[in-house]
C-alpha cells in the first residue's frame, strides 16, 4: 500500500502519475457534466419554442376557421339580398301587369262617375275605355267632351263617332261640340297675294283665286295633320299659285294648276314634320 507524504507527494512516481490521471478524469467529468447541463437547457428552450409555435399555429387555425365562417355568412347574406331583389322585381312586374290590365279595361266593370271621367286625361286613354264598354249610366256633358278633346287630341269626327259606339251603354252627349284644333273644319275664302294658311283652326281649305297667290310658310301645322286644298279660278282665270319653302312637291316640280276661268282643282296634303307640308298630285279641272 502506497505511503503519501504530507507535501502531497508519494513515495512512488508511478503512483503520482496515477493520481494525476485520476484528477484529470474528474476535471473532464465535471466539464462534461457542465456541457450536459447546458445541452439540457438548450433542449428545454427548443421544447418551449416548439410549444409556442404549436400554440401560434392553433391560433391561426382558429382565426382561419372564424374567417371562413364570416365569409360563409357574407355569402348567405348576399344570396338573401339577391332573393329579396328578385322578389321586389316580381312585385314591380305584377304591379305593371295589374296597371296594364286596368288600362286595357280588363278590371271589374263598374259605373264611371264624373270624377273618373275628369281624371282620365292623366290616367287612361278615354277612347280605349269607351270602346271597352265601361261607361255605363253616365251622361257626358259638353264640358267633358271639350276638356278631353284638348287633353287627348280627340278629333271632331271622333267625338261625333263616340255617340254611335254600341259600347256606350246609357251614355249621351249634350250641347254643341266646337273643335279646338280645327280637324274637320274647312275655311272658305278669297285669296290673292301672300296667303298664310291657319292649320290650327282649319284642316281643309277652299280658296277662290282672285289674283296670283303665294302660300307663305305657316307656323301652325301639326305633324300627321292631313287634308286638302281646293283652288278655284275666279271669272278671270289664269291665276297662279307659288309655294313657300315649307311646301314640298314630288320631284320638287312645283304646283301647276288649271288656268281656265272658274276651274276647280284639288291638292291633297299631309304634314310630315314641322316645316314640311307634302303636297300630292293635283286633281285638275273638276267640272
Instruction: Give DSSP secondary structure letters for 171-220.
Output: --B-S----SS-TT-EEEEEEEEEE---TTT-SEEEEEEEEEEEEPPPS-
Q: Are 184 and 157 in contact (CB under 8 A)?
A: yes
Largest CA distance in the chain: 182
pLDDT score recorded for residue 169:
42
Q: Give residues with Cβ within 8 angstroms of 285, minimum separation 6.
A: 258, 260, 263, 264, 265
pLDDT score recorded for residue 154:
56
Domain check: are 163 and 195 in the same one?
Answer: no
CA nearest neighbour of 286 among 262, 263, 269, 268: 263
Domain check: are 217 and 275 in the same one?
Answer: yes
Percent of the chain with pLDDT over 90: 35
Domain check: are 190 and 277 in the same one?
Answer: yes
Q: Of 155, 180, 205, at which residue does a domain stop?
A: 180
Q: Are 215 and 243 in contact (CB under 8 A)?
A: yes
pTM over 0.75: no
Q: Does the residue 1 lie in any domain? A: no
Q: Does the residue 78 lie in any domain? A: yes
* Confidence tier at 132 by pLDDT (50, 70, 90): very low
Q: Mean per-residue pLDDT for 201-218?
A: 96
Upper half-sphere CA count for residue 184 (Cβ side, 13 Å): 13
Q: Between vectors from CA 162 to CA 158 and to CA 166, what angle results, nearest 5°?
A: 140
Lowest mean pLDDT among 46-50, 193-197, 278-282: 46-50
To the nearest 10 degrees (0 to 180), the angle between helices 142-152 and 114-123 is 10
Q: Does the residue 46 lie in any domain? A: yes
Q: Of 180, 206, 227, at which residue does a domain stop?
A: 180
pLDDT score recorded for residue 11:
58
pLDDT score recorded for residue 200:
93
Selected residue with higher pLDDT from 139 and 27: 27
Domain check: are 158 and 203 in the same one?
Answer: no
Selected residue with higher pLDDT from 60 and 261: 261
Ramachandran angles phi, psi of 243, nearest 5°: -120, 135
- Grid cell, residue 76, equals 348567405
Q: Are 148 and 120 in contact (CB under 8 A)?
A: yes
CA dist 230 and 187 (Å) reads 10
Q: Of 163, 180, 197, at which residue does a domain stop?
A: 180
Q: Are 143 and 177 in contact (CB under 8 A)?
A: no
pLDDT score recorded for residue 186:
94
Instruction: Find the domain containing 70 and state its range.
Output: 11-103
Q: Does the residue 252 lie in any domain? A: yes
Say if residue 220's pLDDT is above 80: yes
pLDDT score recorded for residue 177:
44
Domain check: are 190 and 282 in the same one?
Answer: yes
Q: What is the CATH number of the domain that holds 208?
A: 2.60.120
Domain check: are 278 and 226 in the same one?
Answer: yes
Domain check: are 49 and 77 in the same one?
Answer: yes
Domain check: are 142 and 124 in the same one?
Answer: yes
Domain check: are 90 and 150 in the same one?
Answer: no
Lowest mean pLDDT among 143-157, 229-243, 263-277: 143-157
Lowest mean pLDDT among 86-95, 101-110, 215-224: 101-110
Domain check: are 98 and 125 in the same one?
Answer: no
Domain count, the chain: 3
CA dist 5 and 68 (Å) reads 84
Q: Mean per-residue pLDDT for 219-233?
A: 95
**DSSP H helical ranges for the chain:** 13-103, 114-123, 126-132, 142-152, 156-162
Domain check: are 122 and 58 in the same one?
Answer: no
Domain check: are 176 and 224 in the same one?
Answer: no
Selected residue with higher pLDDT from 45 and 245: 245
Mean pLDDT of the chain: 75
* Confidence tier at 183 by pLDDT (50, 70, 90): low
CA nearest neighbour of 152 among 124, 111, 132: 124
Lowest mean pLDDT among 69-78, 118-127, 225-234, 277-286: 118-127
Q: Does the residue 6 lie in any domain? A: no
CA dist 43 and 49 (Å) reads 10
Q: Mean per-residue pLDDT for 118-123?
A: 54
Amino acid at each position: 500500500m502506497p505511503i503519501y507524504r504530507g507535501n502531497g507527494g508519494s513515495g512512488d512516481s508511478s503512483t503520482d502519475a496515477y493520481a494525476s490521471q485520476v484528477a484529470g478524469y474528474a476535471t473532464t467529468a465535471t466539464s462534461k457534466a457542465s456541457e450536459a447541463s447546458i445541452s439540457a437547457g438548450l433542449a428545454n428552450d427548443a421544447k418551449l419554442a416548439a410549444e409556442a409555435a404549436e400554440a401560434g399555429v392553433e391560433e391561426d387555425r382558429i382565426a382561419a376557421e372564424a374567417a371562413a365562417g364570416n365569409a360563409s355568412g357574407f355569402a348567405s347574406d348576399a344570396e338573401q339580398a339577391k332573393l329579396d331583389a328578385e322578389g321586389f322585381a316580381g312585385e314591380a312586374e305584377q304591379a305593371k301587369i295589374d296597371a296594364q290590365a286596368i288600362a286595357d279595361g280588363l278590371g271589374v266593370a263598374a259605373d264611371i262617375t264624373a270624377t273618373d271621367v275628369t281624371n282620365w286625361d292623366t290616367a287612361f286613354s278615354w277612347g280605349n275605355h269607351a270602346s271597352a264598354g265601361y261607361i255605363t249610366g253616365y251622361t257626358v256633358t259638353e264640358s267633358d267632351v271639350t276638356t278631353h278633346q284638348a287633353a287627348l287630341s280627340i278629333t271632331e269626327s271622333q267625338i261625333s263617332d263616340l255617340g254611335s259606339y254600341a259600347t256606350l251603354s246609357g251614355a249621351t252627349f249634350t250641347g254643341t261640340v266646337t273643335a279646338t284644333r280645327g280637324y274637320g273644319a274647312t275655311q272658305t275664302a278669297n285669296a290673292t297675294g301672300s296667303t298664310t294658311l291657319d292649320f290650327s283652326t282649319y284642316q281643309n281649305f277652299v280658296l277662290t283665286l282672285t289674283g296670283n297667290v303665294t302660300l307663305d310658310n305657316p307656323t301652325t301645322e301639326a305633324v300627321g295633320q292631313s287634308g286638302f286644298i281646293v283652288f278655284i279660278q275666279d271669272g278671270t282665270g289664269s291665276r297662279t299659285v307659288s309655294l313657300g319653302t315649307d311646301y314640298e312637291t314630288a320631284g320638287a316640280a312645283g304646283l301647276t294648276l288649271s288656268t281656265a276661268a272658274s276651274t276647280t282643282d284639288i291638292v291633297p296634303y299631309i304634314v310630315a314634320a314641322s316645316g314640311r307640308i307634302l303636297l300630292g298630285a293635283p286633281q285638275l279641272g273638276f267640272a
